[in-house]
């Protein structure tokens, strides 16, 4: 039996999806930890015109070393609570990377 990870992470479609909680207009772009089984993310961009969403995509592309085109916000585009999908990846790879980065 697998241990339940602290992050709600699901194999979905062509990749893996997980929840994020976004705080726009922060002093820097960063993942600061967990919030109710979601990654708590701060971005410098404002929430207007999708800028915060674009900043989230860029942040995860850098952290997870995947092209921006492989990252999509699949739910919650206008909310602080979102689901982000990483195409072409799997649950174990994402968990390993997040642990290596000491995020979870």
- Three-state secondary structure readout of the chain: CCCCCCCCEEEECCEEEEEEEEECCCCCCEEEEEECCEEEEECCCCCHHHHHHHHHHHHHHHHHCCCHHHEEEEECCCCCEEEEEEECCCHHHHHHHHHHCCCC
Assign residue 28 the CATH number of its domain: 3.30.1200.10
86 in a domain, yes or no?
yes
19 in a domain, yes or no?
yes
2 in a domain, yes or no?
no
Euclidean distance between CA atoms 39 and 34, whole angstroms: 5
44 in a domain, yes or no?
yes
Total number of domains constituting the chain: 1
Q: Which residue range is the domain that position 35 belongs to?
A: 9-100
1 in a domain, yes or no?
no
24 in a domain, yes or no?
yes
4 in a domain, yes or no?
no
For 45-70, write each residue's pLDDT tens digit.
999 999 999 999 999 999 999 999 99
3 in a domain, yes or no?
no
Q: pTM here?
A: 0.89
Select the more confidently predicted residue: 84 or 12: 84
Rounded mean pLDDT, 7-21: 92
């Amino acid at each position: 039996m697998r241990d339940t990870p602290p992050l709600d992470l699901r194999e979905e479609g062509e990749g893996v999806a997980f929840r994020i909680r976004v705080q726009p207009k922060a002093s820097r772009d960063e993942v600061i930890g967990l919030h109710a089984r979601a990654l708590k993310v701060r971005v410098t961009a404002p929430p207007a015109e999708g800028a915060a969403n674009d900043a989230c995509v860029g942040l995860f592309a850098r952290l997870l070393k995947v092209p921006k085109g492989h990252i999509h916000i699949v739910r919650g585009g206008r909310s602080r609570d979102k689901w982000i999908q990483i195409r072409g990846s799997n649950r174990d790879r994402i968990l390993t990377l997040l642990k290596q980065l000491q995020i979870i």
